[in-house]
Amino acid sequence: MRNTVAKQEIEQLITTSEVALSPSEVETQLDGLCNRVTVYRVLERLEKEGIIHKFTNVNGVLKYASCHNCSTQNKHHHNHAHFNCVKCGDVTCLENVEPSFNLPKGYKVAEVNFTLSGVCPKCK
């Protein structure tokens, strides 16, 4: 996939957003620049390139946020928590909050999706 205007706009939108965005929120904010299929393809590409990461919020909605410590060589490592505000619905990455847990012998974690819910500082 080449570097298109859609890719550039979606990358900028996600990397400058203070909150995680769903594909439909991305499509809405692009105001007709591209269709839903293109949004999904670009989001998938950006994730593979280590620019963004995806996770599911407490309502089961897929969200995307900017990566801060990932690269294509490093693979994604997002062992941080996400916070889902029950008032405004915003989801933010809590970069310095790492979930801790002990698994029984024989289990190996491949991916962590740790989402907390409550009221964000903006809605307090």
| Residue 30, token pair as written in the block | 């692009």
Was 68 annotated as part of a binding site?
Answer: no
Q: What is the pLDDT of residues 38-89, one digit of tens each?
A: 999 999 999 988 889 888 888 889 999 998 655 445 555 566 788 999 999 8
Was 88 annotated as part of a binding site?
Answer: yes
Which domains, ranges and CATH numbers included, belong to the chain? 5-118 (1.10.10.10)
Was 76 annotated as part of a binding site?
Answer: no
Was 77 annotated as part of a binding site?
Answer: yes
Q: What is the pLDDT of residues 90-118, one digit of tens each?
A: 988 887 887 778 899 999 887 777 888 99
Was 67 annotated as part of a binding site?
Answer: no
Element (H, E) at 55: strand 52-56
Whether the predicted model's global pTM rises above the 0.85 cut: no
CA distance 94 to 3: 30
